[in-house]
Amino acid sequence: MIAITDMPDNISAAALAIAFAAGGSVQSIQTTPLMTAAQAVEALRKAGTSGYKSITAGASAAAAGS
């Protein structure tokens, strides 16, 4: 069974998932919060300033330069 719902917030979505799981008839539950375009842009901005450096990024750049 697949349920696609629009919940008012992540807490409500988690509560529904817990209620389904507590009933015992559902073997696994996966929730995927969706973002608005504005939230996605904000996430991209935060990612750009996070300071994270991939250990494979240097290897990819070096391979591209060869």
Among 56, 3, 6, which residue's Cα sits nearest to residue 28? 3
- Give the pLDDT score at 34: 83
What is the arithmetic mean of pLDDT over 22-48?
87
DSSP class of 26: -
**pLDDT attached to residue 45:** 93
Tell me what pLDDT residue 2 has: 79
Looking at the predicted structure, is the pLDDT value of residue 38 above 80? yes
pLDDT, mean of residues 12-22:
87
pLDDT tens track for 39-51? 999 999 999 998 8
- Give yes or no for a contact between 7 and 16, defined as CB atoms under 8 angstroms apart: yes
Kindly tell me the sign of the dihedral angle through the C-alpha atoms of 50, 51, 52, 54.
positive
Q: In the predicted model, is pLDDT for residue 61 greater than 70?
A: no
- The phi-psi region of residue 5 (left if phi > 0; otherwise alpha if psi is between -120 and 50; otherwise beta) is beta
